[in-house]
Copies of this chain bind each other. A is one copy, B any other.
Amino acid sequence: MSKTRIGILGYGNLGRGVELAIRQNEDMELVAVYTRRDPATVTVETPGVAVRSAEQLEAGNEPIDVLILCGGSATDLPAQTPVFAGKYNVIDSFDTHHNIPQHFERVDEAACAAGTVGLISCGWDPGLFSLNRLFGNCFIPEGSDYTFWGRGVSQGHSDALRRIEGVADARQYTVPVEAALEGARSGTHPNFTTREMHTRECWVVLEEGADPAKIEAEIKAMPNYFDEYDVTVNFISQEELDRDHAELPHGGFVLRSGDTAGGHTSVIEYSLKLGSNPEFTASVLVAYARAVARLAAEGQKGAYTVFDIAPAYLSIHDGAYLRSHLL
């Protein structure tokens, strides 16, 4: 079997997750990690994997079949994915839902011009949760959608806490409200406010001399992030944060419920419980990187999302195996 040669751009939590995920996919090979840092300062775990400067990607002749972009959605991916789709087959986990259409168009233009394949917004949300929203809407055409996140660490909300003056460090958990989950499962199509679906749980380390009451009030009033939620704030020491909140678990639930034309209720529920958000996201990226390589080998080009990928393309196994073992 000739292996699919993977490059990783960006060696943070997600990039490290991709490195690990490739070890569980024997048809994949990690060729190089590309970094914007000085490559001499970056040590990867896997023996024999090169660390190269991100600049070396520019010429478009690195020996990789798919480049997995592991940067952030705020500034990295909007700039990187269209550029590198012009040189390589690429995949990203761009997750700013509102800007997906524009990102898709820019990647599509670059990939069509270059004859490459660019798969965007791949992970679990957007990604697997999106698939389940789509499937739910197709199989239950008249119904209600629910997406719950958690219990898990929201890195965006943790960052927002850390930007508050007087906060030394912080971790924020998004927690689905059990009663709302039960309501969504009941098939009675309840409508929920933002506050009714999730609570937010903050673990905060204060800087010396900071006023906990003032900081708690500031957190609870923060627009968009916290003001529409029931929020609990717990003050702990850095040691406690490091000991009890070092992991990045996450997950959630996608539900679709509705009635058939015969008046019978159907409920579809999809859920994820993830010990490590970046490691699982990386596993999803690696499976879709396999699909990208296959589409490219067929001569396809342009931008894709998870909606456009036939599930069989994700598997290491061929169609005959899948039909006899998993159908």
Contacts and interface: CB of A to CB of B under 8 A. Distances in A.
Interface stretch (A55-63, A84-92, A220-228, A306-314): A306-314
B137 A315 contact: yes
Interface in A144-192: 185, 187
A217 interface: no
Nearest to A141: B24
A182 to B, nearest CB: 13
Contacts of A133: 326
Interface string A192-209: 000000000000000000
Interface size class of A (residues with CB under 8 A): 35 or more
B323 A100 contact: yes
Contacts of A139: 128, 280, 283-284, 287
B312 A327 contact: no
A12 interface: no
Interface in A91-127: 97, 100-101, 104, 121, 126
Contacts of A309: 310-311
A141 B305 CA distance: 22
A275 interface: yes
Interface of A: 17, 20-21, 23-25, 97, 100-101, 104, 121, 126, 128, 130-131, 133-135, 137-142, 185, 187, 247, 249, 259-262, 264-276, 279-280, 282-284, 287, 305-312, 314-316, 319-320, 322-324, 326-327
22 contacts: A17-B262, A100-B323, A128-B139, A134-B311, A134-B314, A135-B314, A137-B315, A138-B316, A139-B287, A260-B276, A260-B282, A262-B279, A264-B280, A266-B274, A266-B275, A269-B269, A269-B270, A269-B271, A269-B273, A306-B327, A307-B326, A308-B310
